[in-house]
Amino acid sequence: MVKMFTIKQLQEATDNYSENNIIGRGGFGMVFKGKLPNNQIVAIKRSLKVDSTQVEQFINEVIALSQINNRNVVKLLGCCLETEVPLLVYEFISNGTLHDHLHDEGKVEFFIWDLRLRIPAQVAQVLAYLHTAISIPIIHKDIKSANILLDDKYTTKVADVGASKLVPVDQERLGTMVQGTCGYLDPQYMQNGELTDKSDVYSFGVVLAELLTREKAISYAKPESERCLAIHFLRKLREERLFEILDEKLVSDGSIEQLKEVANLARRCLYLKGDDHPTMKEVAREL
């Protein structure tokens, strides 16, 4: 059951939305860390702008999250309806994002192959669940390493389901304005604006490549031919030079055959045509 909070409760929880409590920001607005009177730590999402899109996204998020019962999805605890754009209150996930762990050289634990394999397996199960296991299927629409959170035991929590789209039962494709994150966007979706569950599969393939290489999805500091990880990764596979791009720590720690199998799975997720992609259910089985 989603709990209703007052403005006063959330102002007190965040020390009046203090800069010191900001834990995330983006085009949508900001996320603040807060502490409730019972000492529970929460994450409070506040939109910057007031327009119909923001209100629609809020409604979408509540509808989507209300039908989800999955331990690997960030849980919506409540909301506040006293502001122009409603505020959303989530469980606080203590260990940051997959993106931060992958791209911070100080995170030694991410050298371990078993951990890097467990995380995408859990994400794949979440996406398979969203696509097939609930009454109205959900396309996440913004799968990326920054939307994969980790708790203190490195259990995966998929965030930002509010960016998602609910799929009417009689439809497989949704015509929509193209939204998402550069480097993770399905090329077919970018081209025709048709969102399908295979759009999530492509984005997941980018995350898988990111986990294997420890390279960012887009890196403008690199030569042009290497800026887009998906393209660079596929080229290396085609040229049978996979081990030139794999994270060297994985090569020394992981099974060579397993690495090749996961790389091949990533390749299939990254096919340009969505019809050629595996489903997330198939991906979850393979991982």
Count how many residues are written for the chain: 287
Secondary structure (3-state) at 155: coil
Secondary structure (3-state) at 138: strand
Known binding residue 45? Answer is: yes
- Bridge partner residues of 78 (DSSP): 3, 89
Q: Do the Cβ atoms of 236 and 163 come closer than 8 Å? A: no
Please count the CA atoms within 13 angstroms of the CA of 204 that sit on its side-chain side.
32
Phi, psi of 93 (to 5 degrees): -105, 120
Q: Is 142 designated active site?
A: yes
Q: Do the Cβ atoms of 155 and 122 come closer than 8 Å? A: yes
The Cα–Cα gap between 149 and 140 comes to: 15
Tokens for 65, please give them.
């999250």
Q: Which of 15, 142, 151, 170 is catalytic?
A: 142
The Cα–Cα gap between 135 and 151 comes to: 28
- Residue ranges of the annotated binding site are 45
Active site residues: 142
- Residue ranges of the annotated binding site for ATP are 45
